[in-house]
C-alpha cells in the first residue's frame, strides 16, 4: 500500500501530495516517515536552480546512506541530503546558527524540486547527490507557482512542513 506525505508552504497556504518511494529508497523513506512532521524555515536553492528546501536536525537513528541518488533531479522529486554544519556554515551560504555550532552537527536538507534543468553542484564542495525518496503526484503546478514567488518575493517568514497525508 503506498504511503503519502503532504508538503506545505504554511504562510502561502499551498500544499502538494507526494508518494514515498518505498521500493526505490526504503531506508530514507522510512527514516523520514518515522520523523514526521518536520518543519523549518524555507530556503530557495542558490546552486541547484528550481529547488526549495528546509534544514532540520538529523533525526534518523541510523543515517540511511546513499540510495536512489541523483545529481539531476526532475520536477516533483523530493530529496534527502545530509550535511555537517561545518559545510553549511560558510559565508557563501549565509545560514545562521542558534547554538553557535561549537561542534559540527549533522543537518538534514529536505528538498522539493519544482522545475526542470536542475544540477546538484555546489561551488564549495562539488557534486552533491541526493536521495530521491518521494515523488509529487498532486499539486505540483500550484506548488511551483508558490516556489517561484519565494524566488522572486522572498522566503523570510515562510515555513516548509512535511507531514503524513
Domain range annotation of the chain = 4-164
How many C-beta neighbours within 10 Å does residue 165 have? 14
Q: Quick one: which H or E segment has residue 137? A: strand 130-138
Measured on CA atoms in the order 77, 163, 110, 143, is the torsion positive or negative?
Answer: positive
Mean pLDDT of the chain: 91
Q: What's residue 82's pLDDT?
A: 94
Higher pLDDT, 49 or 101: 49
Q: What is the tens place of the pLDDT at every residue in 66-121?
A: 999 999 999 999 999 998 866 665 444 445 555 554 556 789 999 999 999 999 99
pLDDT band at 24 (very low <50, low <70, confident <90, very high): very high
- CATH topology for the 4-164 domain: Cyclophilin (2.40.100)
Return the exposure string of 60-88: e unless at least 16 CB atoms fall within 10 Å of the residue's CB, then b: beeebeebbbeeebebbbbbbbbbebeeb
Quick one: cell of 5? 506525505
**Residues above pLDDT 70, as percent of the chain:** 88
State the pTM of this model.
0.90
Amino acid at each position: 500500500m503506498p504511503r503519502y506525505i503532504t508538503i506545505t508552504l504554511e504562510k502561502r497556504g499551498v500544499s502538494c501530495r507526494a508518494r514515498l518511494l518505498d521500493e526505490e529508497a526504503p531506508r530514507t523513506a522510512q527514516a523520514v516517515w518515522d520523523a514526521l512532521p518536520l518543519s523549518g524555515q524555507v530556503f530557495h536553492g542558490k546552486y541547484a536552480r528550481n529547488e526549495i528546501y528546509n534544514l532540520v536536525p538529523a533525526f534518523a537513528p541510523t543515517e540511511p546512506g546513499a540510495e536512489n541518488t541523483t545529481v539531476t533531479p526532475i520536477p516533483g522529486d523530493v530529496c534527502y541530503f545530509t550535511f555537517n554544519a561545518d559545510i553549511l556554515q560558510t559565508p557563501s551560504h549565509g545560514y545562521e546558527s542558534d547554538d553557535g555550532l561549537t561542534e559540527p552537527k549533522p543537518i538534514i536538507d529536505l528538498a522539493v524540486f519544482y522545475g526542470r534543468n536542475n544540477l546538484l553542484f555546489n561551488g564549495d564542495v562539488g557534486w552533491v547527490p541526493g536521495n530521491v525518496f518521494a515523488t509529487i503526484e498532486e499539486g505540483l503546478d500550484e506548488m511551483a507557482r508558490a516556489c517561484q514567488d519565494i524566488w522572486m518575493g522572498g522566503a523570510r517568514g515562510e515555513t516548509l512542513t512535511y507531514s503524513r497525508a
